[in-house]
Amino acid sequence: MKNKELTRRIMALAMAAALSVSVSPVVYAAERADAQTIKEDNQPAADAEESAEEAEGTAEEGTKTEYPLTITTYDYDGNEIETTYEKAPEKVIAVYQGSIETMLSLGLEDRLVATAGLDNEVPDDLKEAFSKTNYLDEFTPSLETVTMLEPDMILSWSSLFSDKNLGNVTNWIDKGCNTYYNSNTRPGGARTLENEYTDILNLGKIFDVQDKAEAIVDNIKDVINNTLEATKDAEEKPTVMVLEPLGENITNYGASSLGGDMVTQLGATLANPDASTVGKEDIIAANPDVIFVVYMPYAGDDPQSVMDSQLAVIQEDEALQSLDAVKNGRVYPIMLSEMYASATRTQDGIETFAKGLYPDAAID
């Protein structure tokens, strides 16, 4: 399609604007795969069902939730609100990648009345569970569609709880349908690892699967602790920039971003912690030891091509050849979904950052 590159550039500019002023999900792919293609791409391997059945018999009784349970979440504008659960929800709509994958990781596919909004394939170990869900044709379900499904809980991102999309948080709660959204998409809120932990643990409480939620969070924390232990004797920790080329703009994930918090908690130093966008001269002035380049392949894209294209913006630019990170071959890719409202992909992001920051460390 001859206009595809032009379309991508236009969409990239729109995405840059969205990331700078809001927390809208990244929905600017030039060509988005249809729902049927997404379903086919997420079919489990032939032996996955047998493995899943074997795993079912190993579950142990753990910490139990006592209902009624009160959970703090937020409205569309980012104000704190409290929601009360008399029991675990049974008809949940999960919209967007992290929402779906968290439910599946917690073994809650039977509680999902519908799913929507996948940009990437779910991990292989979740495909069997995903195949049992009702994946909608609409990437972002309309209020009419959601209302017809009669949910008792909606799980998504903050920006989708608008009157134009899923509907108003307060209105749903008044109707007896609780809502919850990823805390790192809260307007004006902090973007931290702690928020991702809290969301996973809260969902564990809501659905009475606390041990599963705690195990996910503990595994993430173990990667951080093991990395810090393995690098505790290092004389110097690396300086880092996390960059996402978007057309003529380059987004910088600094101290106020989840990606920035990840690398900081791994012991590295952000070379330019305060800027939200940077130019080539800013990158040269910072001269980080390591650069992570953010890429995002959407359903229908070739992931390798998208990754290579993003890396080339930094690695092949003549003006950036003097950078230590470029000269030393320390420019690494990281997927946006692993370090932006990453939910259960948070561990993948931490591991990617750790390997790039400390390639010679023996991290368990």
Tokens of 219: 């595994």
Q: CA-CA distance, 225 to 56, in Å (whole number)?
A: 30
DSSP strand pairing (92-95 vs 112-116): parallel
CB atoms within 10 A of CB 353: 27
Beta bridge partners of 278: 250
Single-letter amino acid code for the residue at 134: N
What does the radius of gyration of the chain's CA atoms come to, in whole angstroms? 21
> Can you give the pLDDT at residue 218?
98
pLDDT in tens, the chain (364 residues): 444 444 444 444 444 444 444 444 444 444 556 777 776 677 787 665 555 455 454 445 678 999 999 999 999 999 999 999 999 999 999 999 999 999 999 999 999 999 999 999 999 999 999 999 999 999 999 999 999 999 999 999 999 999 889 999 999 999 999 999 999 999 999 999 999 999 999 999 999 999 999 999 999 999 999 999 999 988 889 999 999 999 889 999 999 999 999 999 999 999 999 999 999 999 999 999 999 999 999 888 899 999 999 999 999 999 999 999 999 999 999 999 999 999 999 999 999 999 999 998 877 7
Tokens of 349: 């992001």
Give the burial class of 2: count Cβ atoms within 10 A of its Cβ; 0-12 exposed, 13-18 middle, 19 or more buried: exposed
Nearest-10 crossing angle of helices 193-206, 210-230 = 160
Q: CA-CA distance, 258 to 272, in Å (whole number)?
A: 15
> Can you give the pLDDT at residue 43?
74
Give the burial class of 142: count Cβ atoms within 10 A of its Cβ; 0-12 exposed, 13-18 middle, 19 or more buried: middle
Give the burial class of 218: count Cβ atoms within 10 A of its Cβ; 0-12 exposed, 13-18 middle, 19 or more buried: exposed
Closest C-alpha among 180, 181, 139, 178 to residue 157: 181
Tokens of 28: 């600017």
Q: Kindly give, in sequence order, each residue whose CB lies less than 8 Å from that of residue 79, ignoring residues fewer than 6 positions away.
A: none
